[in-house]
Amino acid sequence: MASRPLRTPFVGVAVVALVALAVADRVVSESGVSRGLFRQEMVTSAPGSAADFGVWYCSEGTSLPGEFAEHSIVVANPASQAVVARIMIFPGSLSNAAAIGLALQEGEPIAGQDFIGRDPVAVTLGVSARSEVVLNLSEVVNAQFTAALVEVDSGTAVVTQRVQGPTGFDVVPCATRAAQAWHFPAGSTRRDARLFFTLFNPFPIRAVAQFSFVTDDGLREPQSLRGVVVPARSLTVVEVTGEVPRFASLSTTINLLAGRIVAGRLQLFDGSDGLEGLTAGPGVPQTHVQWVFANGPARAGIVDHVMLYNPTQQEALVDLVMRFDGFRKGGLHPPFEVTVPPQQRVAVVFDDLGTYPAPAAPYVYSAAALRPSDSGFWVEATSYNGVPIAAERVGAAAATSSPAGVAAEAGVVAKASRHLVAGNRTEGTEVDLVVINPSPDSIAHITVSSIAHGQLTPVAHLAPQEVAPLGRVVVPVNELLDEEVFALLVESSQPVVVSKSLLALSGTGLSSGTAVPYNPISL
């Protein structure tokens, strides 16, 4: 449901939020220090009922009529009592990175950069028990770009953002941490693409960011992006398609020379070169040696690949395992060995990519011959020589197909016994829930419940559902629920990985990503 925002005095909310930011950066779980520390490594997670609050950063979207990624925030409350969400909305506009950095250092005004110095707008939302509230940010702020800092007085509430435009939509959980480095394995600046990075600094001191890009030609560090100043309590947006040459495929790292930020990506393709779609979301704040991808589709017309990005100075040796649906004990092909050179990326392709931009040889490997054409699968990537990497999965359907779209999602590095998936809409959209059981020797029993209209309702056909060791279950939500707007709570007898897929039934729209885990632990 949509809600009319209640505007509140900014100063009071700002003080509360800044205190919350300081506390949120500490370990909040006294019952498990290791769990708390691991949560600090993840881009998104929820502390659960043991915590009194949660802080969320939502930085990828636009809030002007006619823009390409209309930004809305979804607050989902699975608890049996109402919660309050205090939201600060930060206006931003497209920046000239070089001009901003130079002018701020010299204390000069910046022509056309009206977002600097504009105060955030504070609103308060009440969220009833077991329900969702949607806030369209354009109802509160008119700005080319917007970011939101959301503080909820509950550790179980989850905040998701939705972006929608002429080229498609995406639904992705907001981040729950800031960091000093952000990695984006996938990206393109070819002629039909636009690539934006959002630099959200909700803190009271300024930050300075440095961009580096990896392409088929090697490492690039444009002079204009070596010291991008992000003022305190502001949103700065950089369109790199105007700062770097046209590359079919590139990976990006944003390092902070000072301060911390939440960095996100907006990537769109306009359909002029055979691909149309919109994808959004935060980057990867930390590299890892193990990544899991739940969403390997079996749908005709959707092609799939994984980008393995190595931002380090050492070679990464990666085993990639595909585990197919319908096989006993997580049926698999022998590991597919991939070498990722230092400061380079490699695409592992599971289908004919068609019009999707990918690296050129030798930075692309094909695994298409290894999979049955009618079988879905999940993927595990492990750097067996211990060099950590960042990894993303990209799914795409050509602009000439129906539906069309592009979806990018970071891999999963954690498992949990409870997950929440918010922002689901079945009207005109096919919703699938994907659960994988990473245990090699025990069955997981899962229960899925819908959250809507004050009710927590178990899905009758899944009471409970078994997931075999190293197996995967795909739940066709549309076929099991009559609700049009809802959240899903997934509870399991042991830690699992949960993801979702949203596919427009016509036109353009494809979204995939992980559910929000409560108190996750390492894979």
Alpha-carbon gap, residue 507 to 494, rounded angstroms: 39
Of 87-91, 176-180, 508-512, which range is least confident?
508-512
Q: What is the pLDDT of residues 416-445, one digit of tens each?
A: 999 999 988 767 788 889 999 999 999 999
Alpha-carbon gap, residue 345 to 480, rounded angstroms: 40
Whole-number percent of the chain with pLDDT over 90? 63
Task: Please indicate, yes or no, if residue 41 is contained in any of the structural domains.
Answer: no
Residues contacting residue 427 through CB under 8 Å, at least 6 positions apart: 484
Alpha-carbon gap, residue 120 to 118, rounded angstroms: 7
Backbone φ and ψ of 497, nearest 5°:
-115, 135
- The predicted pLDDT at position 300 comes to 66
Task: Please indicate, yes or no, if residue 2 is contained in any of the structural domains.
Answer: no
- The predicted pLDDT at position 21 comes to 56
Cβ–Cβ < 8 Å for 443, 468: yes
Residues spanned by the domain of 408:
55-522
Q: What is the pLDDT of residues 437-472, one digit of tens each?
A: 999 999 999 999 999 889 998 887 766 789 999 999
Query: How would DSSP label each residue in 323-367?
Result: EETT-TTS-BPPPEEEEE-TTEEEEEESS--TTS--PPTTSEEE-
Whole-number percent of the chain with pLDDT over 70? 83
**Could you tell me the strand order of the sheet in which 70-77 lies?**
131-136, 70-77, 158-165, 168-173
Residue 215, pLDDT > 70, answer yes
Query: How would DSSP label each residue in 45-71?
Result: -B--TTSS-EEEEE---BBSTT-SSEE
- The predicted pLDDT at position 65 comes to 87
Would you say how long the chain is, in residues?
523
Residue 244 pLDDT level (bands cut at 50, 70, 90): confident
Residue 202, pLDDT > 50, answer yes
- The predicted pLDDT at position 113 comes to 46
Task: Please indicate, yes or no, if residue 42 is contained in any of the structural domains.
Answer: no
Alpha-carbon gap, residue 356 to 340, rounded angstroms: 21
Task: Please indicate, yes or no, if residue 32 is contained in any of the structural domains.
Answer: no
Q: What is the pLDDT of residues 370-399, one digit of tens each?
A: 877 777 889 999 999 999 999 999 988 876
- The predicted pLDDT at position 10 comes to 42
91 CA to centre of own chain: 21
Task: Please give the tally of structural domains in the chain.
Answer: 1
Give the pTM: 0.90
Residue 344 pLDDT level (bands cut at 50, 70, 90): very high
Task: Please indicate, yes or no, if residue 430 is contained in any of the structural domains.
Answer: yes
Task: Please indicate, yes or no, if residue 405 is contained in any of the structural domains.
Answer: yes
Task: Please indicate, yes or no, if residue 60 is contained in any of the structural domains.
Answer: yes
Task: Please indicate, yes or no, if residue 379 is contained in any of the structural domains.
Answer: yes
Q: What is the pLDDT of residues 316-341, one digit of tens each?
A: 999 999 998 876 554 567 788 999 99
